[in-house]
Amino acid sequence: MNEIETIQKWIATCNRIVFFGGAGVSTESGIPDFRSKDGLYNQHDIQFDSFTPEYLLSHSCLRDHPDVFYEFYRQKMDCRDIEPNITHQKLAALEQAGKLSAVVTQNIDGLHQKAGSQNVFELHGTTLKNYCTNCGTHYPADYIFQSSEAIPKCSCGGTIRPDVVLYEEGLDDATVSGAIRAISQADMIIIGGTSLAVYPAAGLLQYFHGNHMVLINKSATPMDSKADLVLQTGLGEVFSQISIP
């Protein structure tokens, strides 16, 4: 039995599958990841070269250099016109078939929901929502990208920011609790497109006590030795061969 057949067999026997994904899920939609050779952190732009990528996406940058933060955000983080790929689509289909109970994602692009997934825990927030830091008023996805103001302001005078978890900020408690609950109840977990280098997100995998752990990533991860099946390949290569029960 080959690897795809093994995954297919496990999917057939499980009804509480959780998918835990990272940037590699969306690279096949044209969104660069962060740490690879061609990733966001290795793109050199003279406009931002005096800052580290981590700083440009940090709470400190938003607070101390908001003009730089918003310019970088507008140039690099706009996902509104990006379409889901085969992995997003197959995961949504698995949920609709009653096989997948949740997606836990480190991505902020909203592509899982765009593909049709309903139960998605976005650990790092989303670029598709914005809110006022003063009064809490919510603003649509387009607002920051289309605003004529360098630093978008609410009618109350507060700054409008993306609903994204920046460096130096904590994860949302309710989102983490929901993700932990889904992972702890899962009978199978598929980990895909993540180096498992970002904490505390990667630490949530300790709550998995189910039957099958599948890890799909182009490079080795710290969890490889604990997985029941490891495929060092692209997610599209795998999910394009998965049929929905």
Residues annotated as catalytic are 124
SS3 content of the chain, % helix, strand, coil (to 5): 35, 20, 45
SS3 145: helix
E strand or H helix at 55: helix 53-56
- Residue 147: exposed, middle, or buried by beta-carbon count in 10 A (0-12, 13-18, 19+)? middle
CB 53, CB 46: distance < 8 Å = no
Strand partners, 230: 215
The distance in angstroms from the start CA to the end CA of the chain is: 18
